[in-house]
Chain A
């Protein structure tokens, strides 16, 4: 009798552990997907914000037509872009255009005194931060998930149900990480770049 019970108990334990590991893998994978979706949400938020921003700034920044056009263009490119590679490149360009814009804004005290613009600027700063933190959080989730897939004993379950490793988000454009350099001597004369 006892020889029958012991293997049964062991099998039951293994099955329970198996189910637990499988479920935790699914949970982690969903968290990775959710974190990825979160990046999209924040990028969408930025797209929605830009028209208002440009419209408010237009009246004050007569000499910065080019900067503003760059932003609008980069936005529509980013909205149309297909595929991860093309999209992240377009979004990178948009980030660059926006950070150049935020530097140029410093030269327009009237614009900076506008309450409406201040609120928009705060929204923009927050959105930029959120995009950064969403990417960061995505990478964290991918790290947890990949660790789980590679470690024993969950790697066995992962192999059986073909859980594939997540890919880290890396910023293609080195320029996005850097604060744009601006020579305050000739801002306004040449802001096309």
Chain B
């Protein structure tokens, strides 16, 4: 890449030599400064992603945390949901300490647990393999080369004629200049094209590598394979994505026209090949096996895994599917679930009416009562709940870092003022029901005066057992 960049700089020689080089360096420097400091936040806001807390989608958080453990990342990535029906996902973060993973609502409603895990693992692999850094760097290179050659070509258009007229009096200078100018023009036209092709080829290789790493992390190639199958069959374009952000996603968010040219200019390898390779891995989940499967499917011996990865020949078995392998709800129900999810992200509250209708309460509603749109029953608006949800979301965005685990609810504001008391019967294991219906467990070692419910946050006063109670 550096070579391509230097070539881009060299063609400034006829115009101003070192000045051109300096200018090119400046362009490159400014672009990379911008992208390194704020690439992730720009990308996240461009895609319309919103940060969420664990309560909104516990499963997504669990899966991300599982993969964080498997990848030994130093910090939990922040989790974002994009309000889009198209199933897709991407990861950002130049340093592994500060990363984010974003998935669309459509993805969550379509995939089951194992598949979601495969997708998250693929994104985590991009972080782990420093692909985000690579894409950012390569994007900056590409961008600066395009800018420089554009500027050069355009300036040549205007100054070229005049300089030749000026040089015509000095024949020697003109003859030396002409081949150089021609060479520079050739470079200026070819450099962006070649860099772009190189960029695409590298980007496709990184996708294969991320697939291989994902399998290594999850020990379960089938999860990612069937996720890719579902994602590619969805055929919904992601309006928020464009050519620049495309390489970040798990599959290309732009709908292809299906020409053979896309083999050369796509940022992602054909999904069918990726699935075939993943399904070709049957015994082990290490890099070597992926490389073998790749060679079988593509019929060529291109090495896609770095040598250091291939040297790790430890035996890694493939695990079995998780007990709950039910397919995620499809069709209308799936869409409804995705919509509910987005309402939860947008801090709606839900009320279940006796007639079976789920009433969605917007966060800014201030009426004390709401009538069911189907049967007309009056419901009390859970203003406290709305306030609590909003406060929790506000705290999350203020806090900046996502909590590493599911918060145990003790820090959530308690609802209502009623005093809950439980009288212990003895010293052994005991359980009681909180006002919200959740069963709480007391251990023999419990020594505090209050127990906070993990579900609603209500605190219950725990009374010591009466005298003479059986131990």
A130 and B66: CB pair below 8 A?
Answer: yes
The 7 closest A-B pairs by CB, nearest first: A126-B62, A51-B441, A133-B70, A55-B439, A133-B69, A137-B72, A129-B66
B162 adjacent to chain A (CB < 8 Å): no
B438 and A116: CB pair below 8 A?
Answer: yes
A99: nearest chain-B partner, CB-CB: B323
Contacts of A35 in B (CB 8 A): 72
- B413-437 vs A, CB cutoff 8 Å, 1 = contact: the mask equals 0000000000000000101000001
A127: nearest chain-B partner, CB-CB: B62
Q: List 12 A-B contacts (CB under 8 A).
A: A35-B72, A55-B431, A103-B323, A116-B437, A122-B58, A122-B62, A123-B406, A125-B113, A126-B63, A130-B66, A133-B69, A137-B69
Contacts of B443 in A (CB 8 A): 51
A119: nearest chain-B partner, CB-CB: B58
B324 adjacent to chain A (CB < 8 Å): yes
> Within A127-143, which residues are at the interface with B (CB < 8 Å)?
129-130, 132-134, 136-137, 140-141, 143
B59 adjacent to chain A (CB < 8 Å): yes
A134 and B324: CB pair below 8 A?
Answer: no
B322 and A129: CB pair below 8 A?
Answer: yes
A51 and B59: CB pair below 8 A?
Answer: no
B433: nearest chain-A partner, CB-CB: A55
Contacts of B454 in A (CB 8 A): 52
Contacts of A88 in B (CB 8 A): none
A51: nearest chain-B partner, CB-CB: B441
A31 adjacent to chain B (CB < 8 Å): yes
> How many Å from the CB of A102 to the closest CB on chain B?
5
A125 and B322: CB pair below 8 A?
Answer: yes
B405: nearest chain-A partner, CB-CB: A45
The one of A121, A122, A179 that contacts B320, using a Cβ cutoff of 8 Å: A179
Contacts of A116 in B (CB 8 A): 437-439, 455
> How many Å from the CB of B93 to the closest CB on chain A?
19
User: Considering residues B72, B117, B317, which has the most beta carbons from chain A within 10 angstroms of its beta carbon?
Assistant: B72
In whole angstroms, what is the CA distance A119 to B317 when docked? 29
B65 and A126: CB pair below 8 A?
Answer: yes
B219 and A136: CB pair below 8 A?
Answer: yes
> Within B320-366, which residues are at the interface with A (CB < 8 Å)?
320, 322-324
In whole angstroms, what is the CA distance A122 to B62 when docked? 8
> How many Å from the CB of A165 to the closest CB on chain B?
15
In whole angstroms, what is the CA distance A18 to B217 when docked? 33
In whole angstroms, what is the CA distance A50 to B419 when docked? 27
In whole angstroms, what is the CA distance A65 to B459 when docked? 30
B312 adjacent to chain A (CB < 8 Å): yes
User: Known pairs A129-B117, A177-B317. 13 more at Cβ < 8 A?
Assistant: A52-B454, A55-B431, A55-B439, A55-B441, A125-B322, A125-B324, A126-B62, A126-B65, A130-B69, A133-B67, A133-B217, A134-B69, A136-B70
